[in-house]
Every structure is written in C-alpha cells, then in structure tokens.
Amino acid sequence: MATTSIWRVKGWLGKVVIYVENPDKTANPQFYMQEDLTGQDGQNLSDVIRYAVNSEKTQQTDNENCTVVHRFVSGINCSPSTARDEMLAVKKRFGKENGTVAYHGYQSFAPGEATPEMAHEIGKKLAARLWGGRYQVIVATHLDKENHLHNHFVLNTVSFVDGIKYHRTKKDYHDMQTVSDELCREYGLSVIEHPQRGKSKHYGEWRAEQEQRPTWRGLIRADIDEAIRQSMTERQFFENLRKKGYEIKTGKDISVRPPGKERFVRLIRNFGDDYSIEAIRRRILAQSRPERPAPEPRPTVIRVRLFGSLEKARKITGFRALYLHYCYLLGIFPKDRTRASLKRLHFLLREDLRKLDAITAETRLLVRNRIDTAEQLFSYRGEVQQKAESLIADRKELYRLSRTAAVKTDKGKTAEIKSRIAAISDELAGLWKELALCDGIAVRSGIIKEKIKTVREDENQRKENRENEHIRRRSRTNR
C-alpha cells in the first residue's frame, strides 16, 4: 500500500531540489538553507544535488562505519548532478521563470512491505509514467527510519517539449494514486481497493501521528468527539462546540472554524462519513448519559520565604519573559500540570503543543545567553555566523591540503586532516542549529505575541458572556 500527494512550491528552485535530499526534512518545506548555499550565489552552482549524493536518507550501508554500497537518487529527463541547472535552462528557454517553480510530491509505503530498492524502482516508474514524456523529475527515496520508507519527487513546471506549464488538478491527484496502485499490484504490495472519503491524510499529518505529535486537524476532531460525548441533543452538541470557540456553518456538510484560524474545515471531507450530521445524531442518541467536563483543578498554595527585596530584584523582560510566559501557558512547566488542564487550553495554544521541542530549544537559547531584545538577538546571531564562516574557511583549507600530493602519500597526515575536518563539521552542525533557533525566535516571537493577545481577548469575551448569561438567569428568576 502506498499513499501519494503533490503540491506546488514557490520561490527559489534550488531550495526544493536540495530539500528533497535533505536528511533532516520530511514535510512540506518553507525553505531550507545549506551551509554554503544562499538564494543569491546558489543560482550559479552547477551541482546542487551533491547534498543528495551524501545524504544518509538516500544511501544504504551495511553498518555505520562502512562505505556506501547503494544510492537512491535518480533523474527522469535530467541528471541528478545538474538537475537544477537543467530545469532552469528549460524555464529560461521558454521565458517562464516566474510563478510556481516546481511541484513537490511524495509516495509513502506501508511499514515493512517494500525494500529500499523496490521503493526506488516503483518511484522511478511512477514518475516516468506520469511525467516522463514531457517534464524533468528528480526521484529520491528516503530511508530515514526503518518503518518509514517513501519517495520524494521534484517536478519542473515547464515542459521541455513545448514549454507548456504543468497545472495540478484533482484529476492529477487521482491519476497519481491510480498509477501508484497499479505499480503496487505489479510488485505484490497491498492496495486499498475502495478508499473512503475523509480517510486519507496529508503527509505532514500522517507523519505527526506516527511521531505522536498533535496536529490541528487532530485537535479539531478531538474537540468534536468530546462535544459529542458531552451532549444529549444535536442542539447541545453545537452549543458545546461554540463554547470551545468554534464558528459553525451547517449544510450538506458541517463546517467548523476553530478560534484563530482563517478557514472553515468540512467534517465529512476531512474526517469521513462518521462525522456527517446523521452519524453525529446516532452517536449522541446511543449515549445513556452525557460525559461531564473535568472539574477545574483547585489552585495549590505554595508557601515561600523571601530573602532580600522584590523592588531590588531584577525582572526578566523582552524575549525571555515572553517565551517563559508562553511555556507556562503551554504547560511545559510546572511539570505537574494535569491532562485535564491541558485539554482546556485555547485552540491556538494546543496547536503549538506539537512544536514543544522547538519552543523549548529557543527558550533555552534565550535564557542561556540572556537575550531580551532584537538587537541582542541579531548581535548574537552575527557572532555565531562569523564563527561559522571562519570554520568554513578553515575546513576549505583542510580540503585543499587533503588534495595535495604531500598529504595523499602520507596516511598519517591524511587521517589527521580527516579527523580535523570531522571535528569542524560537528562544530558547524551545532552552529547551524543555533542560527536556525535565532531565525525561529525572530519569526515566532511576533506570532507568540499575537496568539497571547488573541487568547486574552477570547477569554475576556467568554468571561463577559458568562457574566451576561448569569445576569439574564437572575432576572428571569426574579420575575
């Protein structure tokens, strides 16, 4: 069994070509920056696929210390080593260098069904049958985990035959899955013969579920299931959803919009026929009694002894204060936060539960380096960048020395230089993570501020609504 999907990519073509071979990325990217490759000078590089050749995800080895015995990167109508330049040449020839630069697709196999060689062969045949007559395609098989074997495709949008641009339609989704199923049958793999609507998942959602991370669609479904369990009538179900902050539109399919989101989500389309209005009614009627919401936890009283003066104590401000407060809201600390309290989190906060690792790492960087302002953040980033550039220059010099005759003929010097190169590469890896965290803080800090503002506004509105409802009930009673 193999699931498929394809989506458009805008921006610099070199980014997505490198991404497909990047061992650290497995979801639809916004961008990926290689250490010595930027949007400006990257256009002049002839070998943007060299990362793929060295990628652990596209290689198979007998053990950790042996040499590569097989590679899983192929090109359809292009060479992997020059694919990016070949794709750009076609775009330039037909004067279609703007707009969508490529389409990024994937084909994911059921755990344990296919071997890496078989998966790559199927991927090449799929690309050849769908696009081989007109377009250039890169096919890369990722071997990032034993139970996660999948192909990635980068499809040039401009045909090398006549310059006509590829436009993805619903038929393309269907054709891709149909041809994939045909190939799976040819190779003796399982196929879902009668797929139900709402049962398929986006790759990122499937991946998050495999790693037991929450997704925003999963949060919506959990809220709907909880609203059903707490209801005895259809009207009560919709009221419970509204109490959670959802906007609702009814028709052939129920559409809900969670707080803080711009778009409505159709229940049948996303979750299947079990979430039609008829199915929800049946689930409500089948219950003997509604589930009671978890009671509010009693606040714990902690007694502390203060030494010194609060007035003289230094207050944490800026980025550190923002991130520490957000970590508290998310329940990262204190550690004894109950599951019931986490369930009552605002939807916008629960959505970030899947980003806890990144948020925690960014918080630690801010606290460790006492960064409170944007100026301090970019100053620190500049220091890290300068150190990284210095190490890159040192490593390039070592690469140059390793190619000299004096070193090649001396095994001891060769081993020493390789060891120094490896040490620099390890240090650079840490610096790249620091730079990525700095960039993440620069972007996320503004988002966090807006989310906290929205959450407070929603909480104030709900509090006001509860007070108004209490006043109305008292007025009815007094009559």
Q: Thinking of the domain 2-206, which architecture would CATH place it in?
A: 2-Layer Sandwich (3.30)
H-assigned helices in 211-317: 216-229, 234-243, 267-271, 277-285
Handedness of CA 381, 385, 391, 395 (dihedral sign): positive
pLDDT at residue 287, as a whole number:
86
Q: How confident is the model at residue 65 (pLDDT cuts 50, 70, 90)?
A: very low
Residue 232's region, left for phi above 0, alpha for psi from -120 to 50, else beta, is alpha
Q: Which residue has the tokens 């419970």?
A: 240
Cis omega (within 30 of 0) for bond into 334: yes
In angstroms, the Cα distances linking 86 to 3, 71, 297, 388 are 29, 21, 62, 31
CB 70 within 8 A of CB 117: yes
Of 333, 331, 322, 348, the C-alpha closest to 442 is 322
DSSP codes, 98-165: SSEEEEEEEEEEPTTT--HHHHHHHHHHHHHHHHTTT--EEEEEEEEETTEEEEEEEEESB-TTT-PB
Residue 74 three-state SS: strand
pLDDT at residue 159, as a whole number:
93
pLDDT at residue 404, as a whole number:
92
Of 6, 1, 7, 29, the C-alpha closest to 149 is 1
pLDDT at residue 124, as a whole number:
92
Number of H helices, E strands in the chain: 17, 10
Higher pLDDT: 393 or 328? It is: 393
Q: How confident is the model at residue 187 (pLDDT cuts 50, 70, 90)?
A: confident
DSSP codes, 174-212: HHHHHHHHHHHHHTT----SSPPTT----HHHHHHHHTT
Tell me the pTM.
0.47
Residue 125: how many other CB atoms lie within 10 Å:
19
Residues 128, 131, 133: CA angle, nearest 5 degrees: 80
Mean pLDDT value of segment 286-306 = 71
Q: Which residue has the tokens 């944490």?
A: 316
pLDDT at residue 167, as a whole number:
82
Q: How confident is the model at residue 193 (pLDDT cuts 50, 70, 90)?
A: low
pLDDT at residue 148, as a whole number:
67
Mean pLDDT value of segment 313-323 = 83
What is the spatial distance between Cα 5 and Cα 86, in angstroms, rounded to a whole number? 24
The residues, ordered by sequence, that sit 6+ positions from 105 with a Cβ below 8 Å of its Cβ are: 4, 5, 6, 7, 152, 153, 155, 176
CB 76 within 8 A of CB 57: no
pLDDT at residue 82, as a whole number:
81
pLDDT at 296 over 60: no
The residues, ordered by sequence, that sit 6+ positions from 199 with a Cβ below 8 Å of its Cβ are: 272
Could you report the per-residue pLDDT of 427-449, keeping only the tens digit for each? 999 999 999 899 889 888 888 88
Could you report the per-residue pLDDT of 129-185, keeping only the tens digit for each? 999 999 999 888 876 544 567 888 888 889 999 999 988 777 887 888 889 889 988
In angstroms, the Cα distances linking 294 to 176, 228, 342, 346 are 46, 15, 11, 16
Least confident residue range of 83-87, 109-113, 149-153, 254-258: 109-113
Across all residues in the chain, what is the average pLDDT? Answer: 77
pLDDT at residue 142, as a whole number:
75
Residue 351, amino acid: E
pLDDT at residue 57, as a whole number:
47
pLDDT at residue 306, as a whole number:
67
Least confident residue range of 24-28, 282-286, 359-363, 377-381: 24-28
Could you report the per-residue pLDDT of 88-101, keeping only the tens digit for each? 899 899 988 887 77
Burial of 426 (0-12, 13-18, 19+ CB in 10 A): exposed
257-291 residues labelled b (16+ CB within 10 A) or e (exposed)? bbebbeebbbbbebbbebbbbeebeebbeeeeebe
Could you report the per-residue pLDDT of 195-246, keeping only the tens digit for each? 555 455 555 555 555 555 567 777 888 889 989 998 989 899 999 898 888 9
Domain ranges of the chain: 2-206, 213-285, 376-454
